């Protein structure tokens, strides 16, 4: 009996990646999103749902507890869930910021700002095809189209603002403490604690709108545009046809082990 | 409330000697010192030190300037706890000039002030209530033929420290609320080169004023302050975190209107627009009018009067959040946000329907000439 270490095939694919055949006839599997980015995405999904539901309760308690106060801890639990989910999404944000420096070309800093003239023209073309239903006129991208990318960049900035305003309010309970010292500059800047509260509460509504449109367009991209949006955030990659041309990708430049490459 | 037949505190005699002359017992003096030590956060063990420092104190000169204000701060200060000694202290220290409390009037009063300031230059404490109007060269508030700004600048010149008493004196309070017709500002906007302590509130609690004066007399300097210039011993914690109704907040029990079941049971006033979660003040602990009660205790939400520019920043007083300008008065952010979210949902639904209809039409069109095969164009949509 040969030792197990020798019988096992040498791992070419990192352990966390889907083991799918890379080439199917005309189709090649392209690796897009690193595992940290995908983990961040799904952790954020659960955090954002928790934060929106508990945040709306904290802003305007929509049901109450009867009887003695000593036998209930309703708002306390909602706030605990809110702070826990907030802590988790902050960790996800830290991972995302790290990945802006070490991720691949679709995940790095420059990818957040598709503001070249060509990209801006593509924003317009994508918008136009969304409104006219002319799929054949829509430019193709293996990564995010620039319109989608701008939406994600916006969500990153909104989340950053939520984190700053959130910690600013969190720090109020302990003046001179850690969070108050780091985020205490905000209330005087925007005109008081109530203004901070208003900003935090207003930006909350960005998330339900974003989630609705994002989920819809992702499913649409998967089913109608055949862009593999939903599967790539699960498996990390998607199949591309060698017959297609992409604005952000050339099949002939594709390295044999894409996950080892930082720059395509 | 005042000590009757009190002999004036003469220059040269210490506070201890003066109290003995006026017949205040040692016991009540020590009680006062203990209370002040506790309010200042020094602990009751510090009472002997406070007593020692106070009784050896020579008569301090205090000039009390009343500017553009309602006199509520003076009223509040007179209702301090431990009235005998607390008021004696204020009575004697405000002897030199206080428009509300002094007996002198007219030219005699102005002369007393000028004499006191000249004699104690660089040593006296300046207490200021009210704001300074800056528009029209300050003509909105004049005393003895001169603008209050001139009085303030003159008095601040020789002051050792300034106690800005009340919301007006630091932020201008209601006079400075939008649109601020008189251009009212606080003392800190006029006087930049003197230590100023901000006794915030509209009005502040009398005991906090007395304790600040005691701190100054005991240690010779103003107490430690937070980033708004308020003494930490009083304004170090949020009302929300010291509130007697906090258990109802955590439990999820809220008053929804002033005459409902929750209001009768003393539930949390969060939904009534209570600003306790954004307000730093000792109200829940020190309370008002000799520990009679305080606003939330009486069933009214906190309006946040110790916070910067509270007439603007804490309004509306009976809503949780500020109104959103440009959408009408009664539109709250939840209405607007929910409308936009519903709009987004409707847009998504409409677009999805359009997409499905379009796909059906396209497939039919492709299937008509050559059914079953996938055209290159369709595959090219990746």
Q: Do the beta carbons of residue B91 and residue B3 sit within 8 Å?
A: yes
- Inter-chain residue contact A64 with B254, CB threshold 8 Å: yes
pLDDT of residue A26: 78
pLDDT 10s digits, B251-297 = 999 999 999 999 999 999 999 999 999 999 999 998 887 788 999 99
- Classified as helix, coil or strand, A218 is helix
- Inter-chain residue contact A65 with B252, CB threshold 8 Å: yes
- Inter-chain residue contact A188 with B322, CB threshold 8 Å: no
How far away is chain B from the Cα of A41, in angstroms, using its nearest Cα?
22
Q: Which of A65, A226, A243 sits opposite B253 (nearest CB)?
A: A65
Is A56 within the bounds of a domain? yes
Percent of chain A with pLDDT over 90: 38
- Residue B299 and residue A40: Cα distance in Å, rounded? 46
ipTM over cut 0.85 = no
The superfamily (CATH) of domain B246-313 is Cytochrome-c3 hydrogenase, C-terminal domain (4.10.480.10)
Q: Which of B270, B344, B355 sits opposite A209 (nearest CB)?
A: B344
Structural domains in chain A (count): 1
For the ranges A232-241, B160-169, B186-195, B366-375, which has the lowest average pLDDT? B366-375
Q: Do the beta carbons of residue B115 and residue B34 sit within 8 Å?
A: no
Quick one: closest CA in A to B340, which residue?
Answer: A209
How far away is chain B from the Cα of A109, in angstroms, using its nearest Cα?
26
- Inter-chain residue contact B320 with A204, CB threshold 8 Å: no
C-alpha neighbours within 13 Å on the C-beta side of residue B360: 6
Domain boundaries along the sequence of chain B: 60-235, 246-313, 333-362
Which of A55, A68, A69 should be substituted to probe chain B, the one whose Cβ sees the most B Cβ atoms within 10 Å?
A69
pLDDT 10s digits, B144-168 = 888 999 999 999 998 988 999 999 9
- Residue A94 and residue B119: Cα distance in Å, rounded? 63
Quickly count: other Cβ atoms within 10 Å of residue B269's Cβ.
26
- Span A198-217, mean pLDDT? 93
Closest to B334 (Cα-Cα) out of A85, A78, A58, A167: A58
Whether A138 has its CB under 8 Å from any CB of chain B: the answer is yes
| DSSP H helices in chain B | 15-22, 26-39, 47-55, 72-78, 83-93, 106-119, 148-157, 167-171, 173-176, 206-219, 232-235, 246-251, 261-265, 283-286, 310-313, 333-367, 376-379
Quick one: closest CA in A to B261, which residue?
Answer: A66
Whether A64 has its CB under 8 Å from any CB of chain B: the answer is yes
- Span A129-149, mean pLDDT? 83
- Inter-chain residue contact A175 with B280, CB threshold 8 Å: yes
Is A211 within the bounds of a domain? yes
Burial class (CB in 10 A: 0-12, 13-18, 19+), B308: buried
- Span A240-249, mean pLDDT? 76
DSSP symbols for B182-232: T-EE-GGGT--SS-EEEE-SSS--HHHHHHHHHHHHHHSSPPPB-TTS-BH
| DSSP 8-state assignment for residue B58 | B
- Span A35-40, mean pLDDT? 90
Quickly count: other Cβ atoms within 10 Å of residue B362's Cβ.
17
Q: Do the beta carbons of residue B90 and residue B129 sit within 8 Å?
A: no
Whether A204 has its CB under 8 Å from any CB of chain B: the answer is yes
Chain B residues in contact with A56 (beta carbon < 8 A): 334
Quickly count: other Cβ atoms within 10 Å of residue A210's Cβ.
18
Residue B116 has pLDDT above 80, yes or no: yes
Higher local confidence (pLDDT), B110 or A10: B110
- Inter-chain residue contact B251 with A73, CB threshold 8 Å: yes
B60-235: CATH class: alpha beta
- Angle, alpha carbons A57-A59-A62 (nearest 5°): 40
| Range of the structural domain that residue A187 is part of | 4-61+71-260
Residue B8 has pLDDT above 80, yes or no: no
Please report, for the domain that includes residue A203, its CATH number. 1.20.950.20
Please list, in sequence order, all residues whose beta carbon lies within 8 angstroms of the beta carbon of residue A88, skipping any fewer than 6 positions away. A43, A46, A47
Q: Predicted confidence band at B219 (pLDDT cuts at 50, 70, 90)? A: confident
- Helices B206-219 and B26-39, axial angle in degrees (round to 10): 100
pLDDT 10s digits, A5-34 = 444 444 455 665 655 567 777 787 788 888
- Residue A167 and residue A184: Cα distance in Å, rounded? 9
Whether A177 has its CB under 8 Å from any CB of chain B: the answer is no
Is A66 within the bounds of a domain? no
- Inter-chain residue contact A73 with B237, CB threshold 8 Å: no
Interface A-B, measured as beta-carbon pairs within 8 A, has a size of 148
- Angle, alpha carbons B83-B89-B95 (nearest 5°): 120
Distances (CA, A) of B85 to A33, A64, A99, B100: 74, 48, 66, 19
pLDDT 10s digits, A97-111 = 999 998 888 888 888
Is A107 within the bounds of a domain? yes
Whether A117 has its CB under 8 Å from any CB of chain B: the answer is no
Which residues, in sequence order, are bridge partners of residue B142? Answer: B147
Quickly count: other Cβ atoms within 10 Å of residue A222's Cβ.
16
Quick one: closest CA in A to B338, which residue?
Answer: A205
Is A238 within the bounds of a domain? yes
- Residue A112 and residue A93: Cα distance in Å, rounded? 14
Whether A25 has its CB under 8 Å from any CB of chain B: the answer is no
H/E stretch holding A167 = helix A146-170
Average pLDDT, rounded, for chain B: 83
């Amino acid at each position: 009996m040969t030792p197990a270490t020798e019988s096992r095939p040498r791992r070419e694919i990192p352990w966390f990646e889907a083991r799918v055949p890379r080439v199917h006839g005309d189709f090649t599997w392209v690796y897009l999103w690193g595992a940290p980015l995908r983990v961040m995405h799904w952790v954020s999904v659960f955090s954002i749902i928790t934060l929106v539901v508990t945040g709306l309760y904290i802003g305007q308690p929509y049901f109450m507890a009867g009887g003695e106060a000593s036998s209930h801890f309703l708002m306390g639990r909602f706030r605990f869930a809110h702070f826990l989910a907030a802590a988790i999404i902050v960790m996800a944000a830290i991972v995302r910021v790290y990945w802006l420096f070490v991720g691949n070309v679709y995940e790095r800093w420059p990818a957040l700002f598709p503001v070249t003239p060509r990209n801006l023209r593509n924003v317009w073309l994508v918008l136009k095809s969304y409104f006219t239903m002319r799929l054949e006129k829509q430019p193709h991208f293996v990564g995010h189209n620039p319109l989608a990318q701008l939406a994600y960049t916006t969500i990153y900035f909104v989340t950053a603002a939520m984190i700053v305003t959130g910690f600013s309010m969190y720090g109020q309970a302990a003046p001179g403490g850690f969070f108050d010292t780091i985020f205490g500059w905000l209330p005087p800047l925007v005109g008081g604690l109530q203004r901070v509260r208003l900003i935090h509460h207003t930006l909350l509504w960005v998330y339900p709108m974003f989630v609705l449109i994002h989920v819809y367009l992702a499913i649409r991209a998967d089913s109608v545009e055949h862009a593999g949006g939903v599967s790539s955030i699960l498996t990390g990659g998607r199949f591309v046809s060698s017959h297609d041309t992409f604005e952000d990708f050339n099949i002939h430049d594709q390295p044999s082990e894409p996950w080892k490459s930082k720059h395509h | 409330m005042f000590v009757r037949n009190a002999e004036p505190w003469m220059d040269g005699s210490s506070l201890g000697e003066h109290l003995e002359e006026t017949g205040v017992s040692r016991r009540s003096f020590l009680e006062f010192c203990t209370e002040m030590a506790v309010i200042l956060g020094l602990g009751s063990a510090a009472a002997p030190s406070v007593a020692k420092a106070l009784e050896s104190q020579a008569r301090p000169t205090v000039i009390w300037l009343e500017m553009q204000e309602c006199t509520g701060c003076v009223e509040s200060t007179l209702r301090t706890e431990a009235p005998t000694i607390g008021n004696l202290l204020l009575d004697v220290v405000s002897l030199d000039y206080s428009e509300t409390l002094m007996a002198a009037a007219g030219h005699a009063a102005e002369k007393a002030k000028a004499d006191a300031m000249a004699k104690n230059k660089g040593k006296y404490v300046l207490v200021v209530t009210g704001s300074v109007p800056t528009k029209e060269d300050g003509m909105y508030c004049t005393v003895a033929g001169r603008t209050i700004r001139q009085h303030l600048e003159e008095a601040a010149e020789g002051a050792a420290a300034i106690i800005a008493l009340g919301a007006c004196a630091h932020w201008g309070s209601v006079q400075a609320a939008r649109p601020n017709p008189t251009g009212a500002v606080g003392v800190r906007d006029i006087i930049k080169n003197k230590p100023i302590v901000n006794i915030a509130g509209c009005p502040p609690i009398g005991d906090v004023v007395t304790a600040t004066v005691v701190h100054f007399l005991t240690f010779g300097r103003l107490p430690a302050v937070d980033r708004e210039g308020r003494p930490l011993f009083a304004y170090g914690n949020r009302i929300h975190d010291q509130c007697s109704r906090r258990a109802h907040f955590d439990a999820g029990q809220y008053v929804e209107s002033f005459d409902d079941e929750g209001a009768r049971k003393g539930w949390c006033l969060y939904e009534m627009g209570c600003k306790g979660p954004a307000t730093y003040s000792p109200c829940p602990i020190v309370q008002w009018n000799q520990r009679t009660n305080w606003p939330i205790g009486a069933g009214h939400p906190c309006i946040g009067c110790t916070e910067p520019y509270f007439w603007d920043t804490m309004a509306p007083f009976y809503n949780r959040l500020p109104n959103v300008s440009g959408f009408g008065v009664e539109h709250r952010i939840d209405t607007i946000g929910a409308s936009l979210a519903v709009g987004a949902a409707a847009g998504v639904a409409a677009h999805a329907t359009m997409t499905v209809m379009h796909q059906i039409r396209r497939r039919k069109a492709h299937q008509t000439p050559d059914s079953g095969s996938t055209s290159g164009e369709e595959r090219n949509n990746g």
